[in-house]
Amino acid sequence: MLEVDIVRELPGFTLNLSFEAANERVVLFGPSGAGKSMTLQAIAGVIRPDSGRIAAGHVLFDSANGINLPPQQRRAGYVPQQYALFPHLTVGENIAFGLKGLSHTARQARVQEMLSSMALSGLEDRRPLELSGGQKQRVALARALAVRPEILLLDEPFGALDPLLRADLRDALLALDEASNLTCVIVTHDLADAFLLGEKVVVLDEGRVLQAGSREDIFYRPATRRVAELVATRNILAGTVVPGSDGFTCLRWNGAVLMAATHAPLPPGSRAHICIRPTQIMIRSRESAEVEERPNLLSGVIVDEIIGAETYRLFVRLRQSQEDYDLQVELPGYVYFRLELDQRKEIQLSVRPEVVHIIPVQD
């Protein structure tokens, strides 16, 4: 169990956060300057918090009791953003650097084990300048794992890699995690990495934890408007609660009434943010246009499009609206053409009440 509860004061910035992790992949997610890397450095022992406590089975730092173990005693494998490989050492020597107290034979055996597991065999005599970005990343990871850490700390592990290499190393990290009992803390500001790798996601902003929980909670049930913005909810709508039916909360928004399935109904007149992810809005086909109406049925026109490599992002203005657009919808390219959206722009939308998330507005 990793426990972090620390404060560090800097000019114009205060890191003040608390979270826990237990043999799982934890992603620290947030914008640049949120305090993600500083948190990792504090766990690794690279920087000292002003106060608080860090423990991982045993106490690593405790300001109240004067405990601050040096990095080499923390059983933490740390991979910083730029890998921090020693340029004058070979790959094998870099991997062996932290292996203190082992015989020469044991050290060499561990290095060979890491070379094999990280697909680096044959590169042990090269120096970092002779390696590609992906190879450097694997060497840094091998060096961190060679000491058999209790905690693995990765700071933006895929930031400098091309998409194909990112995918390969994501897969390698997932496979590594399945074969070990590590607590892995990963810093990223990339949504795809956060969702794929994070069994638990901790959202940071301006040095504080805004929300911590499962990736499903963070992405689909953000606790605040700011979290919804950070996880690219995109459709964050201003609504007012109106009387509704049992089991649903109804909200008036922009001339329409939306139903949300919620376990915490709000009294009529309450103001709320209505959150709907772009991928959760359905566009009805021509064939289904005349069938019985479903909850949250809307009509509008596509006023703009952004074409990605595999997806289309559509900007939709509702029929009764005077806005530039009201909703963003994202869908795969094959669905775009199956619905004939290259030929028609007037559409009907539907949103399941289960995917409408409500955040009360705090007065």
Q: Which tens digit of pLDDT belongs to each residue from 144-171?
A: 999 989 999 999 988 766 777 777 777 7
**Which phi and psi angles does 140 have, rounded to 5°?**
-60, -40
Question: Are 226 and 205 spatial neighbours (Cβ–Cβ below 8 Å)?
Answer: yes
**Which phi and psi angles does 155 have, rounded to 5°?**
-100, 110
**CA 242, CA 27: separation in Å to the nearest integer?**
38
Provide, rounded to the nearest whole percent, the portion of the chain with pLDDT above 70.
96
Parallel/antiparallel/unpaired status of strands 297-307 and 271-276: unpaired
Report CA 184 to chain centroid distance, whole Å.
13
* Two structure tokens written together for 192: 């795809």
What tens digit of pLDDT does each residue of 271-328 get? 999 999 999 999 998 776 555 577 899 999 999 999 998 999 999 999 989 999 999 9
What tens digit of pLDDT does each residue of 183-195 get? 999 999 889 889 9
pTM: 0.92
> Where does the pLDDT of residue 6 fall: very low under 50, low under 70, confident under 90, or very high at 90 and above?
very high
User: Among 248, 249, 247, which residue's Cα sits nearest to residue 269?
Assistant: 249
**CA 10, CA 206: separation in Å to the nearest integer?**
12
Domains and CATH numbers, the chain: 2-230 (3.40.50.300), 235-360 (2.40.50.100)
What tens digit of pLDDT does each residue of 106-127 get? 999 999 999 998 889 999 999 9
